[in-house]
Amino acid sequence: MAGSRAAIRYAKAVLALASEQKKADVVNDDMKLITNTIDQSAELSDLLNNAVTKSETKKAALLAVFPKLNAITTGLFDVLITNKRIDILNEVAKKYSVLFDQLEGKEVAKVTTAFPMTNDLELKVLAKIKKLTNKAVELENIVDENILGGFILRIGDQQYDASVSNKLNKLKREFTLN
């Protein structure tokens, strides 16, 4: 939890600096690249979280992996290394992207379905979301066969569960209570 709060603070500070220098969108691209790379590379994640590895080695590795980042982003590396918090880099990058999207009036709607959504269904979901929120929404489809059918829609901190598994669980609770 403390790492999460710290990540938000660092992300807010970087966003403020990037916005001031009119580089928020460029830094957001850097943050997405960092997040994708760390999520896909167990070796890089392990290196950043290894307490034995020296800070200079971690910084050299980051600069080798990300040679063309904005100065603000590389400055974040320095600050995190100085404060011995480089292990939360991935979390800071994710929080930055969320804060940037909020600043731009965008929101990510996550739709969990039992099968990949068709284009027709995606358009219907987007139309429904536009009625619920006045923000620009980016749709992310998550496939989870465990929900059996229907969908789960999550926008920000709101969730609408219309999955078959949820309805079956409600029925099960009703029968066990009676």
Q: Domain count for the chain, please give it.
A: 2
Among residues 95, 76, 67, 85, the alpha carbon closest in space to that of 8 is found at 95
Residues 114 and 91 in one domain: no
42 and 128 belong to one structural domain: no
Higher pLDDT, 160 or 135: 160
Identify whether residues 84 and 129 lie together within a single domain. no
Residue where a domain terminates, one of 102, 129, 148 = 102
The pLDDT tens digits for 58-69 are 999 999 999 999
Predicted pLDDT of residue 69: 93
Tens digit of each residue's pLDDT (9 = 90 or more) over 96-151:
998 998 888 887 888 888 888 888 888 888 877 777 777 778 888 889 888 888 88
Give the pLDDT band (50/70/90) at residue 2.
low
Which residues have a Cβ under 8 Å from the Cβ of 165 and sit 6 or more positions away? Answer: 146, 147, 148
pLDDT of residue 3: 65
Same domain membership, residue 119 and residue 63: no
User: CA-to-CA distance for 10 and 81, rounded, in angstroms?
Assistant: 12
Cα–Cα distance, 111 to 51 (Å, whole number): 37
Least confident of 15-24, 88-97, 137-146: 137-146
Give the closest residue to 57 by CA, choosing from 69, 43, 71, 70. 43
| Whether 166 and 137 share a structural domain | yes
- Give me 171's structure tokens: 């029925």
The parent domain of residue 126 ranges over: 106-177
Residue 1 pLDDT greater than 60, yes or no: no
107, two tokens = 């929101």
* Domain closes at, from 80, 102, 124: 102
Same domain, 154 and 71: no
